[in-house]
């Protein structure tokens, strides 16, 4: 099967995380709400209603367009796309057709199988539009919920530039990261914030022709996009090898059965009769307005990763991990700045302990009570030997739980590391006196018990002792 290569273009629909819908004042987010509760006359398409554009949608659109190297048009238009479907209450979708907010653009992808190589994925469409409602089958009927109608979407379409299911998955992973990074979308595929249709065709390797493609719809995770493309690749190869022609079908991904179903061809034929939406005026964006929106445009993940590698001498792996999430990367940098020491130490604390803590609590780096300042304070105390490593780790949890400054906790709970020889010596003697059997075994040659003895001392001292010093004293007394 190696003589066929895949040609893939992805069509993504991105739900913007505005407070309200694109053309009415209903909430944008109706996750887990009862059907048809988050609606109004406008988004339910009642007779006589009119759309009024949400300014925030434009702001988020401009951020994404800029990130995709798309030209931001000073004047763009909304159009009507006319078709009958029960999830579309007006019988037309308000979208942007030929003069959309963004014009062109691209995203550079690192090819996972080929380290160092990049693939430039062109963007052929980037426009704003309204989402439709949700429908579900119930026997011979279809049930419709309009809650989602009017949620702001950006439709973004790539050229046929992707060459494998893995590349498609990589594009989506990068896109999802970018959307969250920019704060324009929650980008959760399972919740439909990020939806992807894939146009798939095959061609003999070496050919530059485009062959008939099929369109895969309704795939709800990056993993499933990958599986669906792989399945469709195999099917198309089978068809071609059997001497059949590929037909321009629309295929529906069945999430339960992990298979593709053909949609009725009747639904897919269409003449949408686009024309300018007369209920809306042209969208006019002044350069000043655009500049103001872009004023705090963030450094993007790939750049930041590159900078982390050079500025902080992190490993490739660490730099990658610390830039998966914008808040995390910003947290890291602030902590490094206050700390002033080896960035690698902050990175280790973050990746080994703080991330685990955040994962468990479901918090983001931005809203943890363990501020970068507190983290730096803790690492500094450990560096200075004021606390030992295990105290430091416990302290992370305590700060997060209480929001108190780490030095206050240390002072209040007496967690400062005990380096006082006499104090430790007294406890060592007490432990030895209390455990004659173990002392006998140790002296008989079971030297591995030293760890156990150290643990006993540390426990007795509620972790405050310098463990190295405790062990030295133990060895000295036990050995005598």
Partner 1 sequence: MKEEISVEVFNHLVGLAALELDAEQATYLRRELNLQLQVIHELEAIPLEEDLKINAHGVKYEASITPQLRADEWIPYEDVEAILSQVPELRDRFVVVPNIPHEKLD
Partner 2 sequence: MTMQLCDTPAHELSILLRKKKISAKEIVESCLERVAAVDGRPGSLDPGENSSQDNQSVHAMITLTAEKALAQAKGLDDKVARGEPLGSLAGVPFTVKDIFCVKDTLTTAASRMLANFRAPYTATTVERMLAQDGLMIGKVNLDEYTFGSSNESTAFQPAPRNPWDTNRVPGGSSGGSAASVAAGEAAISLGTDTAGSIRQPAAFCGVVGIKPTYGRVSRYGLIAFASSLDCPGPLARNVTDAAMLLKAIAGPDRQDATAVTKAVPDYVGVLDQGVKGLRIGLSEDYFKIVYMDAETGEMLQKPVPDEVRAAVYHAAEILKAQGAEIIEDVPMPNTRYAIPAFFVISRVEAASNLHRFDGAKYGYRTAQPKRDLREMYQATRNEAFGLQPKLRILMGMYVSAAQYSEQYYSRALKVRTLIRRDFENVFDPGSSYHLDALLTPTTPTTAFEMGAVYGDSVLMQYADQFTVTANHAGIPGMTFPAGLGADGLPLGVQLLGPDFSEPILLRMGRVFEEGTQAEAWRLQKPQVLRGLA
Q: Which residues bind partner 2 (CB under 8 A)?
A: 41-42, 44-53, 80, 82, 84, 86, 89-92, 142, 144, 266, 271-275, 278-281
Closest by CA to 426, choosing from 414, 418, 416, is 418
| 18 lies in the site for partner 1, by CB under 8 A | yes
| 49 lies in the site for Zn ion, by CB under 5 A | no
Question: Among residues 252 and 472, whose Cβ is nearest to partner 2?
Answer: 252
Return the one option of partner 2, Zn ion, partner 1, none that residue 37 interacts with (CB less than 5 to 8 A, by type).
partner 1
464 vs 395, 398, 457, CA distance in Å? Answer: 12, 15, 10
Question: Among residues 43 and 229, whose Cβ is nearest to Zn ion?
Answer: 43
Binding mask 265-294 for partner 1 (x = CB under 8 A): --x---x----x-x--xx-x----------
Which residue is associated with the tokens 């109004």?
A: 40
Is residue 386 within 8 A of residue 410, CB to CB? The reply is yes
Q: How far apart are CA 386 and CA 417, in angstroms?
A: 5
Return the structure tokens found at 219.
């795939």
Strands 194-204 and 4-15, sheet pairing = antiparallel
Q: How far apart are CA 368 and CA 325, in angstroms?
A: 14
Is residue 369 within 8 A of residue 384, CB to CB? The reply is no
Question: Among residues 37 and 315, whose Cβ is nearest to partner 1?
Answer: 37
> Interacting stretch for Zn ion, rule CB under 5 A, among 43-51, 102-110, 306-314, 444-452?
43-51
Out of 1, 2, 34, 115, point to the residue binding partner 1 (CB under 8 A). 34
Q: How far apart are CA 37 and CA 147, in angstroms?
A: 7
Q: Please classify residue 365 by burial: count the beta carbons closer than 10 Å to its beta carbon, then call 0-12 exposed, 13-18 middle and 19+ buried.
A: buried
- Residue 267 CB, nearest distance to Zn ion (Å)? 26
Q: How far apart are CA 457 and CA 418, in angstroms?
A: 12
Question: Among residues 279 and 420, whose Cβ is nearest to partner 2?
Answer: 279
Strands 79-82 and 118-130, sheet pairing = unpaired
- Residue 14 CB, nearest distance to partner 2 (Å)? 24
- Give first-to-last CA distance, the chain, whole Å: 75
Question: Among residues 19 and 389, whose Cβ is nearest to partner 1?
Answer: 19
Interface residues for partner 1 in 122-161 (CB under 8 A)? 137-146
Question: Among residues 191 and 273, whose Cβ is nearest to partner 1?
Answer: 273
- Residue 187 CB, nearest distance to partner 2 (Å)? 29
Q: How far apart are CA 204 and CA 167, in angstroms?
A: 19
DSSP states of 405-454: -HHHHHHHHT-SPB--HHHHHHHHHHHHHH-HHHHHHHHTT-GGGHHHHH
Out of 10, 26, 101, 179, point to the residue binding Zn ion (CB under 5 A). 26
| 94 lies in the site for Zn ion, by CB under 5 A | no
- Residue 40 CB, nearest distance to Zn ion (Å)? 3
Query: CA 74: distance to chain centroid?
Result: 30
User: How many CB atoms lie under 10 A from the CB of residue 255?
Assistant: 13
Question: Among residues 56 and 472, whose Cβ is nearest to partner 1?
Answer: 56
Out of 16, 22, 43, 370, point to the residue binding Zn ion (CB under 5 A). 43
Question: Among residues 8 and 24, whose Cβ is nearest to Zn ion?
Answer: 24
Is residue 73 within 8 A of residue 102, CB to CB? The reply is yes
- Residue 165 CB, nearest distance to partner 1 (Å)? 18
Return the one option of partner 1, partner 2, Zn ion, none that residue 127 interacts with (CB less than 5 to 8 A, by type).
none
Interface residues for partner 1 in 70-129 (CB under 8 A)? 84, 86
Strands 214-219 and 250-254, sheet pairing = parallel
Interface residues for partner 1 in 408-437 (CB under 8 A)? none
Interface residues for partner 1 in 218-257 (CB under 8 A)? 235, 249, 251-252
| 41 lies in the site for partner 1, by CB under 8 A | yes
- Residue 40 CB, nearest distance to partner 2 (Å)? 9
Question: Among residues 114 and 141, whose Cβ is nearest to partner 1?
Answer: 141
Question: Among residues 135 and 173, whose Cβ is nearest to partner 2?
Answer: 135
Pick left, alpha or beta for residue 10 (phi over 0 → left; psi -120 to 50 → alpha; otherwise beta): beta
Beta-carbon contacts of 197 under 8 Å, excluding residues fewer than 6 positions away, are 10, 11, 12, 215, 216, 217, 218, 219
| 35 lies in the site for partner 1, by CB under 8 A | yes
Which residues form the interface with Zn ion (CB under 5 A)? 24, 26, 40, 42-43
Which residues form the interface with partner 1 (CB under 8 A)? 18-20, 25-27, 34-37, 39-41, 44, 46, 52-58, 84, 86, 137-146, 235, 249, 251-252, 259-264, 267, 271, 276, 278, 281-282, 284
């Amino acid at each position: 099967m190696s003589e066929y290569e895949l040609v893939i273009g992805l069509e993504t629909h991105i739900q913007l995380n505005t407070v309200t819908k694109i053309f009415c004042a209903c909430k944008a987010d109706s996750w887990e709400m009862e059907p048809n509760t988050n609606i109004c006359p406008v988004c339910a398409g009642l007779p006589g209603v009119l759309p009024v554009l949400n300014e925030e949608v434009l702001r988020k659109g401009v951020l994404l367009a800029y990130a995709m190297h798309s030209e931001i048009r000073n004047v763009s238009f909304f159009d009507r796309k006319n078709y009958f479907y029960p999830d579309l209450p007006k019988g037309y979708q308000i979208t942007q057709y030929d003069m959309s907010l963004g014009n062109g653009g691209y995203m550079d992808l690192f090819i996972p199988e080929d380290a160092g190589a990049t693939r430039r994925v062109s963007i052929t469409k980037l426009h704003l539009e309204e989402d439709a409602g949700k429908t579900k089958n119930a026997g011979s009927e279809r049930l419709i919920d309009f809650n989602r109608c009017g949620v702001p979407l950006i439709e973004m379409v790539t050229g046929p530039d992707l060459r494998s299911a893995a590349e498609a998955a990589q594009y989506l992973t990068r896109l999802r990261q970018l959307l969250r990074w920019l704060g324009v979308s929650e980008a959760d595929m399972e919740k439909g914030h990020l939806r992807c249709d894939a146009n798939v065709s095959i061609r003999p390797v070496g050919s530059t022709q485009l062959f008939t493609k099929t369109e895969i719809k309704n795939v709800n995770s990056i993993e499933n996009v990958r599986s669906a493309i792989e399945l469709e690749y195999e099917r198309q190869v089978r068809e071609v090898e059997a001497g059949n022609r590929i037909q321009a079908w629309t295929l529906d991904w069945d999430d339960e059965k992990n298979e593709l179903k053909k949609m009725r061809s009747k639904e897919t034929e269409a003449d949408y009769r686009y024309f300018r939406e007369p209920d809306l005026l042209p969208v006019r964006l002044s350069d000043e307005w655009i500049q103001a929106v872009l004023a705090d445009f963030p450094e993007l993940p790939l750049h930041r990763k590159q900078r982390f590698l050079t500025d902080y001498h992190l490993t490739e792996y660490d730099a990658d991990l610390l830039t998966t999430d914008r808040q995390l990367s910003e947290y890291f940098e602030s902590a490094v700045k206050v700390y002033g020491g080896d960035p690698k130490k902050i990175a280790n604390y973050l990746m080994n302990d703080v991330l685990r803590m955040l994962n468990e609590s479901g918090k983001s780096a931005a809203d943890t009570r363990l501020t970068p300042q507190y983290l730096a304070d803790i690492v500094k105390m450990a560096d200075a030997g004021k606390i030992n490593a295990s105290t430091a780790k416990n302290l992370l949890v305590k700060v997060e739980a209480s929001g108190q400054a780490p030095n206050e906790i240390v002072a209040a709970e007496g967690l400062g590391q005990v380096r006082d020889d006499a104090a430790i010596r007294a406890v060592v003697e007490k432990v030895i006196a209390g455990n004659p059997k173990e002392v006998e075994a140790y002296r008989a040659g079971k030297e591995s018990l030293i760890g156990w003895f150290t643990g006993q001392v540390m426990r007795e001292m509620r972790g405050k002792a310098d463990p190295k010093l405790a062990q030295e004293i133990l060895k000295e007394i036990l050995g005598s």
